[in-house]
Amino acid sequence: MQNRNGTSRRDVLRTGATIAAGIVGVAAASSARAEDEKIAQELVQYQNSPKDGQQCNMCAQWVEPNACKIVAGVIHPNGYCVAYAPKEG
Ligand code: SF4
């Protein structure tokens, strides 16, 4: 069935689904690009254990539940790297 504009409900739904898929694709690409711009764990000597009482979930770069603003990949809350910077406050 078509409306006065010659557009069917199916056309509208198909267009909406295409737009939604495009938005998801752009968001995924953006997220992947952001991850690519982070520092490799090896370069900051990342380890999965604390050092001298310093650990990722006490760092200003920490992102719950398992990421870092500047270091790539999965980051353990009890991990540590040489870029450690204590949270203020
Ligand atoms: S210690 Fe390193 S890996 Fe951990 S949150 Fe801070 S900057 Fe990121």
- Each residue's pLDDT tens digit, 24-56: 666 677 777 888 899 999 999 999 999 999 999
Asked if 57 and 76 sit in the same domain, the reply is: yes
With CA atoms as reference, report the closest residue to 76 among 66, 64, 62, 86.
66
The per-residue pLDDT for 16 is 63
The pLDDT > 70 percentage for the chain reads 79
Asked if 49 and 79 sit in the same domain, the reply is: yes
Which tokens belong to 40?
């490799």
Which tokens belong to 65?
């539940």
Asked if 83 and 43 sit in the same domain, the reply is: yes
Ligand 1: residue of 35, 46, 59 to mutate (most ligand atoms within 8 A of CB) is 59
Domain that holds residue 78: 39-89
Please state, rounded to an integer, the average pLDDT across all residues of the chain. 87
The per-residue pLDDT for 23 is 61
Asked if 17 and 45 sit in the same domain, the reply is: no
Ligand 1: residue of 45, 48, 80, 84 to mutate (most ligand atoms within 8 A of CB) is 84
Asked if 30 and 48 sit in the same domain, the reply is: no
Spatial CB neighbours of 84, under 8 Å, sequence gap ≥ 6: 51, 54, 56, 59
Residue 67: left (phi > 0), alpha (psi -120 to 50), or beta? beta
